[in-house]
Structure 1
Amino acid sequence: MAAAAPLLVHVESMQTAVPTRVAGTGRSLPIAVSGPPLTAEELQRRFRAVLYYRGAGGELEAAARERAAWVKESLSAALSDCPEMAGLAGRLRRGGDGRLWEVKLKDTGVRLVHASVEVTVAAFLEASGANRERKEAALALWTDVDAHEPDICAPFILQLTRFLDGGYAVGVSCSLLLADPLSLIGFLESRARKHAELQAQGMHVANPVIQYTRYLQSPGAAKRVKSASTLGAAAAAAAADNTATTVLFRAAGTPDHRALAVACVGKACEMLGVREPPRFTVMDRDGSEGLNVQACACAAAADGDQKPWRGQGHAPRLAHWREAGLEDMELEGSKPVHVSYSVSPCADEGLVIVMPAGGAELLISVTVPNNM
């Protein structure tokens, strides 16, 4: 029997969505690194989400082109309406010793990728486990942040991928130095609301011939920038992600985020039946716009206690990504049929992200290696 043809994702256009008005040019958001300087590998820590939507079937090429235009327009508007997320349109910049980092707000825009895949949504979702995760990485492309010239890299990418049956996927990859997952999800919800608002108002896209020439050509005339097999670089990145598992917790707010992180790492490892990693990194914000990145050692590595979360005065309880709301994010009147989430840490380390969740509660993401 002949081998099945490899699944290809065709990248048809790479564009930039810029804020519709100045949102924060000139400001910088500090990143305080406590511990060794950030390495090239640590700069690739990121959050990925992919939302799948079914199409009406037999969708016209013109409808797909119109959706692409609206996605760019609503993304630009959302960047202007969410000043707290202005960093998404900024760039990472490093200081001299590798410990001084910042997000420079330059209003340079975010990378927007338009792509297509030669399969239906249903067929794509039939795959399961690691097989689908390898393919899924090509629905939310990522370009590694260059440790020497980080300011030339796009640390936030949004990708719109069309399927054969008119369905589509919205995939995002975002550096955790720019935004935590909960903040990014809030921005995506804001963009969806802006998308619906602009369409309801019947607002026309400015300068459509100039901005969207590629999508106004005759069907099939757009040149493909490249065709990437999901078994290539994207699959390699997904394979690395599969070596770790993420568990979510909720807990009452506390100023001692490190102790809370230790408690959550211990509880996550006990639930998963793995040993605690010898080290982990805590990423959190202290109420200001700046980000703290703190390298820590697990208590178990020091005293052999495999349950350091006991008796610490913290009571984290299990949470789920669906509580963040992406499963209810409507686009064109429909909710996604599936949503996936992924946190990419560094090899052989734990990663804890502490996020304000409204009121006095915190949402804590704990990612630990599977092979400990």
Structure 2
Amino acid sequence: MVRVPANRCGCAKSSCSALRSRRSGLLNISKMAATTPAAATAQHVVHIEAVQTAVPTRVVEPGRTRLVAVAAPPLQAPALQRRVRAVLYYRRADGTAAPDAWEDGVWVKESLSEALADHPEMAGRLRRRADGSWEVKLNDTGVRLLQATVDATLDEFLAGKGLKRRETALAPWTDVNADDPDMCPPFFMQLTRFQGDGGYAVGVSCALVLADPLTLARFLLSWARTHARMRAQSKATPLPMAQYLAYFQRPETTRKRVRSVPIDSFAGDGAAETVLFRAGAAAADGGHGDHTALAAACVDKASEALGKKDKVSRLSVVVVDAPAHAAAGDDWLAGKTTIGTCTASGGGAAAAASLEAVQWSELGLEKLVLRDSKPVLVSYSIVTGGGGDEGLVVVMPDDGAGSFLVTATLPK
């Protein structure tokens, strides 16, 4: 005699009403898990397909550096983590075929290397000087370049909750080790492809001691022009690029990813808000030969614009000088950076009166064209690197017009 196992309700029949009810409940739960936004978001994973380094195509002459002067050394480790983050989202241009991910990645790397030849400081590394200041050593070490995919369409990713936090998956960063900075890249770029709709994103994270937001934006625009020129030349004239590509191993031949990480597992990198201003030359100087009055005025204006009742008491001020060449044998002063601190008071009526709040589009990244498409969205952030309740002001010269762009970043 064969025993038929009883159901949990004690009945051996498959038609048991309790069993049917349980099956129905499980089916409903499964449907809910598949349709609720929270569940859909939880399934999104970023897959790192490749980690590479783009180095300049021309060698920099030995000994070139760019000074990072510290007004009150030593520069604390959290200050090295302050960075600019930008993520540009694109859709495939109408009527164009979906680009081959492998080939497109090669074009990005090769054009980035060519652009770095004209901007070698972006490929440098940080180094501490004996006097407590820092410098960027132009040693051709390169930019860390990652290629990734996301298990979501572009629209699904943009519609998810906590976009700013989730964008950390698209613009990677590894903290700079203050004791061994030569081994830590201060500039990351990631090319991320979304599934199903041809969307992709270019995310960058760049240390403020390497480049301010305006300098970074101009470099990216230069890279985009280089990318377009190289592709146009390849179409017009047969170049050895096709043969060159044969030396690269296609991703599908390896079927091995570097790592896969759920997007919701990425931690936020500090809650802060940034307001951008334009200031004239008089406001930037403040009549005292420094930028403390301008910084304090910008923080006052930013606090007012953001509706903050409790104002910060201390500021870190990052000032970027206009590009210039030093005398032979001296430091390379192209965009020398000075880092100092001051109190958040005494902005002055003159400095405040000349300030004009502007949009991030002043940086021009909304015009960055890749594959004949402009970005559908550009996201900007200043990451303070765990600066606590301290404010952060970055003063940047804007061409030779005598005006400045200033970012004022305050903790939430």
Following superposition, the deviation at residue 315 of structure 1 comes to 1.5
Counterpart CA distance in 2 for 1:225 and 1:321 is 34
Residue 269 (structure 2) pairs with residue 240 (structure 1) = yes
The reply to whether residue 266 of structure 1 matches residue 300 of structure 2 is yes
Going from structure 1 to structure 2, the CA distance change for 1:343 and 1:77 (only over 3 Å counts) comes to same
Tell me the percent identity.
49
Match of 2:116 in 1: 79
Residue correspondence of structure 1 range 274-353 to structure 2 within 5 A:
274=308, 275-287=310-322, 288-289=333-334, 290-299=336-345, 308-312=347-351, 314-345=353-384, 346-353=387-394
CA distance in 2, matches of 1:58, 1:138: 30
- Return the letter of the residue paired with 2:391: G
Structure 1 equivalent of residue 167 of structure 2:
136
Partner of residue 257 from structure 1, selected from 291, 296, 315: 291
Runs (5+) with no aligned partner, structure 2: 1-28, 34-38, 323-332
TM-score by length of 2: 0.80
Question: Which piece of structure 1 moves more, 191-200 or 4-13?
Answer: 4-13
Q: 1:77-109: per-residue Cα shift (whole Å, max 9, x none)?
A: 1011x2xx3221110011356x22111110011
Change (3 A) 1:325 1:105: same
For residues 14-53 of structure 1, the aligned pairs below 5 Å read: 14-53=51-90
| Correspondences of 1:195-234 after superposition (within 5 Å) | 195-202=227-234, 203-205=239-241, 207-210=244-247, 212-215=248-251, 217-218=252-253, 221-232=254-265
Q: Find the residue that maps to 2:217 and give its secondary structure.
A: helix
Q: Which one of 141, 156, 169 corresponds to residue 187 of structure 2? A: 156
1:281·1:352 contact (CA, 8 Å) conserved in 2? yes
- AA partner of residue 143 (structure 2): V
- The answer to whether the Cα contact below 8 Å between 2:321 and 2:396 also exists between their aligned partners in 1 is no
Q: How far apart in 1 are the matches of 2:137 and 2:74?
A: 19
2: distance between equivalents of 1:175 and 1:316?
26
2:97 pairs with 1:68: no
- Greater C-alpha Rg: 2
Match of 2:44 in 1: 7
State the one-letter code of the partner of 1:209: A
Of 192, 200, 209, which residue of structure 2 is paired with 1:177?
Answer: 209
Other structure's SS at 1:179 match:
coil
Please list the CA deviations of residues 226-273 of structure 1 after superposition, one character each: whole Å capped at 9, or x if unmatched. Answer: 1122233xx32xx233x2100000010233322111111111112212
Q: Residues 62 and 317 of structure 1: is their aligned pair in 2 closer, same or farther, counting only changes over 3 Å?
A: closer
TM-score normalised according to structure 1 size: 0.88
Deviations 1:59-86 (A, max 9, x none): 9887111111110011001011x2xx32
Q: C-alpha offsets along residues 259-300 of structure 1, whole Å, 9 cap, x if unaligned?
A: 111111111112212222111111112334221001111117
Gaps of 5+ in 1: 301-307
